[in-house]
Amino acid sequence: MAGASVKVAVRVRPFNSREMAKDSRCIIQMSGNTTTIINPKQPKENKSFNFDYSYWSHTTPEDLNYASQLQVYRDIGVEMLQHAFEGYNVCIFAYGQTGAGKSYTMMGRQEKDQEGIIPLLCEDLFTKINGCNTDNNLSYSVEVSYMEIYCERVRDLLNPKNKGNLRVREHPLLGPYVEDLSKLAVTSYNDIQDLMDSGNKARTVAATNMNETSSRSHAVFNIIFTQKRHDTDSDNTSEKVSKISLVDLAGSERADSTGAKGTRLKEGANINKSLTTLGKVISALAEVDSGPNKNKKKKKVESHIPYRDSVLTWLLRENLGGNSRTAMVAALSPADINYDETLSTLRYADRAKQIRCNAVINEDPSNRLVRELKEEVGRLRDLLCAQGLGDIIETYRGPIAEIAGLKYLSDYKNNNDKDQAVNERGDLSTVTNAMTGMSPSPSLSALSSRAGSIASLHDRIMFSPGSEEAIERLKETEKIIAELNETWEEKLRRTEAIRMEREALLAEMGVAMREDGGTVGVFSPKKTPHLVNLNEDPLMSECLLYYIKDGITR
């Protein structure tokens, strides 16, 4: 099957106050799907580009040509949601200089007709799930994760326990993924809205504490959408899984200043490593897909696409030229003063048009995956046995995991749970059960009594070439199996536990809650004096509210 091209849209926003104060002229014209940019220094020199969509949002809704939030959603969001129901991975990402309208397009504002693609798509997802599901044999589940990539580090925005950076790993079967990133179970649009809001709060808190600006970080919102069909005749269950990735990229302006000139500070380069690499990946992919003798060239060039050079491109590998239906929205400033940046954004978008993705329907991935992963566990155990470390797996399963760096481990000797004991013998999922947070973590005394055996074990592992790696891989694989085996009820319980921790943390910091406990949206406590956190980014401004309590506050 020939792949589908990346859908590319551009959108121009109204002047902002700075541009108005400077008496800016509008240098963008649109006609149909064509966008034309005029060089303010040489007004006769203009360049035109064709896209799948050119959105004129420079004026007001009264203008017949004005492209509203809803129109953008109807063109791009609806199609991508449809693909998700078909079982494809989908991705929508927003590109453009800071202030050009990326977040407005992706998230928008929580007001009537102002919501962006992400909330509209999530709302529609649940409307469709609840509305068309008259089939008793069809069931749906939705899980979300929300992360931020800043200076090549990944931050979990939904789980306050995951304070540090998360590791980006590659599994031989699963490909690149973020280890320990929390995937939370949701049952309604409201749940998602709450999580998005909490995530944005977490992002604001982190940004404020570190004195960063959101314009330098990438926000990636993932929805894992699973459709299960039970066939009553054969008693078989088949499954389709779609990963929906919605990405609000960092401002593109720094990519140029660091990438092209390369004279900035190292930190500056790191901030943009992901974005510069994204540019290189897009150029490389565009070349593969447009070059002569496509097929001959493709294999050779594909191995040189620098996905691995940054966290963002590594994680979005499938979405860029792989197994995904992908759309890009490039946000444009209308003003003459931004000519260079806007032209560079248009060229970027023009290149992205040439990328083709080969999306496939993800049917029954988890059954197959669990089987393959279990085979992998078998292989790894054999390997360790062959190195004379087999007894360790059997006797010291706990300490091995500790050495390999597992955070939680169920002390199954103290655990009378019969199911657990069965699991223990059946496969290696005990260690992994613990990862779900369902089992008690080991007591300190249990740990210290093991310290001696850990030390001697460590010596033995060190003397066996490759064993450390095998143990690490074993641990990684078991963790993934456990995640795949987790029941929906367990997921809901875990999600609830994390929610309570998250809210307790915000309450502790003095961030105001609504009377009903929720924190969604902007609200003003009428009678209590409070401080409001302002931010240059409208998405973050007034996101946090701190009460001032009676007495002296410092």
Residues serving a catalytic function are: 99, 101-104, 248, 251
CB 147 within 8 A of CB 157: yes
CB 160 within 8 A of CB 184: no
Measured from the CB atom, the residue of 187 and 541 that comes closer to ligand ADP is 541
- Please choose which of Mg ion, ligand ADP, none residue 16 contacts, taking the beta carbon within 5 to 8 angstroms, the exact cut-off set by kind: ligand ADP
- Please choose which of Mg ion, ligand ADP, none residue 160 contacts, taking the beta carbon within 5 to 8 angstroms, the exact cut-off set by kind: none
Exposed (0-12), middle (13-18) or buried (19+): which is 459, by Cβ within 10 Å? exposed
> Minimum distance between the CB of residue 19 and ligand ADP, rounded to whole angstroms?
10
162 binds Mg ion (CB under 5 A): no
Give me the count of residues in the chain.
554
Q: Which residue is nearest to Mg ion (CB)?
A: 103
Q: Measuring CA to CA, how many Å separate 316 from each of 175, 298, 307, 478? A: 11, 19, 8, 24
Measured from the CB atom, the residue of 101 and 322 that comes closer to Mg ion is 101
> Minimum distance between the CB of residue 380 and Mg ion, rounded to whole angstroms?
43
Exposed (0-12), middle (13-18) or buried (19+): which is 339, by Cβ within 10 Å? middle
Measured from the CB atom, the residue of 108 and 442 that comes closer to ligand ADP is 108
> Minimum distance between the CB of residue 133 and ligand ADP, rounded to whole angstroms?
34
Q: Measuring CA to CA, how many Å separate 7 from each of 52, 225, 324? A: 6, 22, 12
Q: Which residue is nearest to ligand ADP (CB)?
A: 101
> Minimum distance between the CB of residue 437 and ligand ADP, rounded to whole angstroms?
34
Separation CA 123–CA 78 (nearest Å): 11
> Minimum distance between the CB of residue 346 and Mg ion, rounded to whole angstroms?
19
Measured from the CB atom, the residue of 68 and 449 that comes closer to ligand ADP is 68
Measured from the CB atom, the residue of 103 and 272 that comes closer to Mg ion is 103
- Please choose which of ligand ADP, Mg ion, none residue 433 contacts, taking the beta carbon within 5 to 8 angstroms, the exact cut-off set by kind: none
Number of residues in contact with Mg ion under rule CB under 5 A: 1
Give the interface with ligand ADP as residue ranges (CB under 6 A). 13-14, 16, 57, 96, 98-104, 215, 251, 331, 537-539
- CA dihedral (205, 211, 215, 218) in degrees, to 10, reads -60
DSSP at 38: E
CB 31 within 8 A of CB 122: no
- Please choose which of Mg ion, ligand ADP, none residue 96 contacts, taking the beta carbon within 5 to 8 angstroms, the exact cut-off set by kind: ligand ADP
List binders of Mg ion among 59-118 (CB under 5 A): 103
Q: Measuring CA to CA, how many Å separate 374 from each of 49, 354, 368? A: 51, 39, 10
- Please choose which of Mg ion, ligand ADP, none residue 54 contacts, taking the beta carbon within 5 to 8 angstroms, the exact cut-off set by kind: none
Q: Residue 230's beta-bridge partner residues?
A: 237
Contact residues: Mg ion, CB under 5 A: 103
